[in-house]
Structure 1
Amino acid sequence: MSTEEEAVAAPPARRMRADAVRTRKALLKAAAEVFAEHGAEASTAQIAARAGIGKGTVFRHFPTKEDLFAAIISEEIDGLVTVGRRQAEQADADTALLQFMSAGVDLYANNRALAEALRMVSDVRHPEIQAGQEQLIATAESLARRAQRDGSLRADLNGQDVMLLICGVYYTAAPLLAADPSAWRRYLRLTFDGMCATGTGPLPPALVHNSLLPTVR
């Protein structure tokens, strides 16, 4: 094939890839909306109809509903990791850690679609979710270490602790969120103040846990 012919042939291939990306984004958006409205029992047909595509297209992108849930969760995890990295570059150590934790609790408190997805995969060790959790722990660890170097955060906290405390704040405030969606802020402040380095005793050893995401039953 001549160079001129290759130049003519290239754009359709790029358009096909771009179409696939757009279809995936539309599918994930539709799935999140349908799960938010109908819960985890929503059908693939409902999701396909919302996205304006056929069920076969859904299965080509996501062979199982578990894969679809995992993709939704992974997108949200990626967003939270981005928040943590951005805060690390722009804020002082305490503010960066607090803003990261705030973003995490807010994510769980205001995203029913994510909560439904978490419920479905909570007992499944999906590799995509596991990879995302590792990223979250690494981000939380980095933010915690900054605050510890500044002397403001107790020295025996780690990234897993931070992620589990985010879940704990969400669980604590959960009964109040229907009446006040911002109720979690009070409990995050209490938790964050308890993480400070002043006047603390030693913690028992940390237990490594397989899942750091809240299970919604």
Structure 2
Amino acid sequence: MTEAVTPGPRADMVRNRRLLLEAATAAFAEHGVDVPIGEIAQRAGLAKGTVFRHFASKEDLLAAITLRMLDQLLDTADRLVTADDADAALEEFMADGVEVLAADRAFCEVIGRPSLQHVEVRDAIDRLCDAAEALTARARESGAVRADVTGTDIVLLLGGIQQTAAPVLGADPQAWRRFLQLALDGLRVVGGRELPHPLPGRLDLDPAGPA
């Protein structure tokens, strides 16, 4: 008879962190970032103190979840950057991105919070802008989108489309697709007026704003 192996402390820590991230992701997606830590611990089936053994603050927990979502978007961009059809690749990236945001109330609420000051989160946002620029550059070169559109435009539009659709998503979770199509048609305008103001090279989401 094979003797059962009892998980060690390290395995318990890995399991607890996974349970906490899954519980927090679901809770924040459903109710936004104001969900109490105690409710997250209860969802995970763990003591409240266990949360703070893994994450020193709620901001640290939000940062970890934000990183998971940004990594998901980066994986999508990496998959599409070599696609044969540059226009379809950019459209798919935007559709996947807005769909992720539309299903998660917390992500757009996090924008501008101190959690974004985490080095890893800021680095992931920079990498997402670079990945979006690579997709956008291919679409520009193929003539699929207007020549003055940048990757930063695309990243900001993902959140903008989600925010536009937010008031009706409860009644119709797919309503974002209407506003995505409006945005895509605007990106593809040929002979439209030149955009009146340039964007900075890097996305600055400092909640304090300019000094």
What TM bracket, shorter-length normalisation?
A: 0.7 to 0.9
Q: Indicate yes or no: 2:38 matched with 1:42.
A: no
Matches within 5 A, 1:1-217: 17-116=10-109, 118=110, 121=113, 125-196=117-188, 198-208=190-200, 209-211=203-205
Moved more, 147-156 or 40-49: 40-49
How many Å separate the matches in 2 of 1:124 and 1:142? 23
For residues 158 and 39 of structure 1, do their structure 2 counterparts lie closer, same or farther at Cα, with a shift above 3 Å needed? closer
Distance 1:172 1:153, change over 3 A: same
TM-score (norm 2): 0.82
Q: What one-letter code is carried by the residue in structure 2 that aligns with 1:102?
A: A
The answer to which of 130-139 and 48-57 deviates more is 48-57
Which structure 2 residue ranges, 5 or more long, are not aligned?
A: 1-5, 207-211
Q: Give the deviation of 1:43 after TM superposition.
A: 2.4
- Letter aligned with residue 150 of structure 2: N
RMSD between aligned residues: 2.7
What is the distance in 1 between the residues matched to 2:112 and 2:61?
Answer: 11
Aligned identity (percent) is: 44
CA contact (8 A) 2:86 2:142 kept: yes
From the CA coordinates, give the structure whose radius of gyration is larger: 1
Q: What amino acid maps onto 1:25 in structure 2?
A: R
Aligned counterparts of 1:170 and 1:89: Cα–Cα separation in 2: 26
Which structure is higher in helix share?
A: 1
Distance 1:122 1:163, change over 3 A: farther
Q: Report the CA distance shift for 1:36/1:148 in structure 2 as closer, same or farther (over 3 A).
A: closer
- The one-letter amino acid of 1:98's match is E
User: How far did residue 42 of structure 1 move?
Assistant: 2.6
SS at match of 2:81: helix
SS state at 1:30 partner: helix
Deviations 1:95-154 (A, max 9, x none): 1111111111112211124345x1682785332321221121011101001111212122
Per-residue displacement from partner, 1:13-72 (whole Å, max 9, x unpaired)?
x96545433322211011122334554333222222222223332112110000101111
Are the aligned partners of 2:59 and 2:115 in contact in 1 as well (CA < 8 Å)?
A: no
Q: 1:56 to 1:137 in 2, by over 3 A?
A: same
